[in-house]
Structure 1
Amino acid sequence: MLKASIRKYQNRAIETTQVIMELIELAKKINEAEKRGESTGLTPDELAFYDALAENESAREVMGDEILMQIARDLTAAIKNNISVDWAIRESVQAKMKMTIKRLLKKYGYPPDKTPQAVDIVMEQTKLMCQNEICNNDML
């Protein structure tokens, strides 16, 4: 959203006031996300994994929020324990991480037909977290 607004401004497609309005809207969304995390008792990392798992509506309906939150907590702990500096380029480390994710999902009864998609989403979320320097500071 921010990149798109800046691009529009640079291309003279929108005025400064509109950019400011979009920045205010972005700030509101960020605040809402922080409050949501506080209300659930999940850390930002856990909330990111919860959102990735809860993206599947049928899994959310079948399992419920409490189980998905517990999976998110366990995933965060497992990923922090298995992450390494070069995990994103080493296939063996990625394979181990995928197996850990699959085991956790199976342990909690995540719908098997949705597991491959969930694993992919969780792996992508892990990559995003590492890009935001979480792997370099908090996870290692």
Structure 2
Amino acid sequence: MSKLYAMSVPSPQANQIKDDIAFFQAIKSRINKFSGNNVISDYEVETAVKQIIDDKLGSDGIIDLFQAAGIESPSVSILSDEFLLEVKNMQQKNVAYELLKKLLSDEVRVRKVKNIAQGKRFSEMLESIVKRYHNNQIDSAQVLAELSEMAKEMRLEDQKSEELKLTPEEYAFYTVLSQNDSTKMLDDEKMRELIHTIVDVVRNNATVDWQNRDDVRAKLRLTVKKILMRYGYPPDLAKLEADKVLAQSENLAAFFAGK
């Protein structure tokens, strides 16, 4: 029934029975919670979204998806406290969960491209939350709370980047290097200076397809190692960190190629 309805929205006939469909879907959602199956199908998510859009579709054909979902568009960030609160207060908790998971998954995907360390950390965090929810280790209220906390942690990372006066690309290198305790010997000013130096070196060596050329990669790795040693890194540690810097540089190859 849900599959057929999803295919027919929007239409006058489907509109006449949408309340009945919503009723049966709500019952199924309730049964799923008792039966231990918290997963709703893609068709059900699609149906919910289509119903929401159909309700708010204007004559000019312009749709504001967030307003359509009954959520005010956030003023500063899509992951603002106001937005997260509105998601948390949605009546259909399963839909709220799917919406928040989708937004965070997309955000993690973007961060993986720009920031290896941050992307790995948030990817593992999201995977853990979703897994525990599917295994009934946390309920719908708890999963929304944990996903909201994860979103707030993402915002804190972005704020820290701004506080350090680093671009997202520069902050990616900061994140890589700050994983090691050796960076604690550097104050913020020295760390910022180190990051700027590394970024300048990578940018100056970023020729066409540089990430596929062993000679360029070897030269860059050695240069970064020397820079790190100049800032107090022991030789062995400098070599390990240079490899991480190179990996992050390759992730941002397109950015540096554009210079």
Aligned length: 133
Contact preservation (8 Å) 1:54, 1:68? no
Q: Which residue of 1 aligns with 2:173?
A: 49
Q: Residue type of the partner of 2:256?
A: M
Residues 13, 99 of structure 1: CA spacing in aligned structure 2 closer, same or farther, 3 A cutoff? same
Query: CA offsets, 1:80-121, max 9 Å, x none?
Result: 332356444443232122022123223434333421222122
Distance 1:3 1:90, change over 3 A: farther
Looking at both structures, which has the greater relative contact order when contacts are Cα pairs under 8 Å and sequence separation is at least 6? 1
Distance 1:121 1:112 in 2: 15
Which of 68, 72, 81 in structure 1 is aligned with 2:195? 72
- Are the structure 2 counterparts of residues 17 and 124 from structure 1 closer, same or farther at C-alpha, using a change threshold of 3 Å? farther
Match among 81, 85, 92 for residue 204 of structure 2: 81
Where in structure 1 do 4 or more consecutive aligned residues deviate above 6 Å? none
2:234 maps to 1:111: yes
The gaps in structure 1 that reach 5 residues or longer are none
Higher helix share: 1
Shift in Å, 1:27: 0.9
**8 Å Cα contact 2:182/2:233 also seen in 1:** no
Could you tell me how far 1:31 is from its partner in structure 2? 0.8
Deviation at 1:26, TM superposition (A): 1.1
TM-superposition CA deviations, 1:41-83 (whole Å, max 9, x none):
111222222233233324422x433222111111122223323
TM-score (normalised: structure 1): 0.74
Which consecutive unaligned segments of at least 5 residues does structure 2 have? 1-124
Q: Give distance in 2, aligned partners of 1:59 and 1:10.
A: 39
Quick one: structure 1 residues 28 and 59, their matched pair in 2 at CA, closer, same or farther if it must change by over 3 Å?
closer
RMSD over aligned Cα atoms: 2.6
Contact 1:59–1:111, Cα closer than 8 Å, also in 2:
no
Identity of matched residues, %: 35
Q: 2:18 is matched with which residue?
A: none
Task: Say whether residues 1:125 and 2:248 are aligned partners.
Answer: yes
* Contact 1:50–1:71 under 8 Å retained in 2: no
Taking structure 2 as the reference length, what is the TM-score of the superposition? 0.44
Distance in 1 (CA, whole Å) between partners of 2:138 and 2:212 is 40
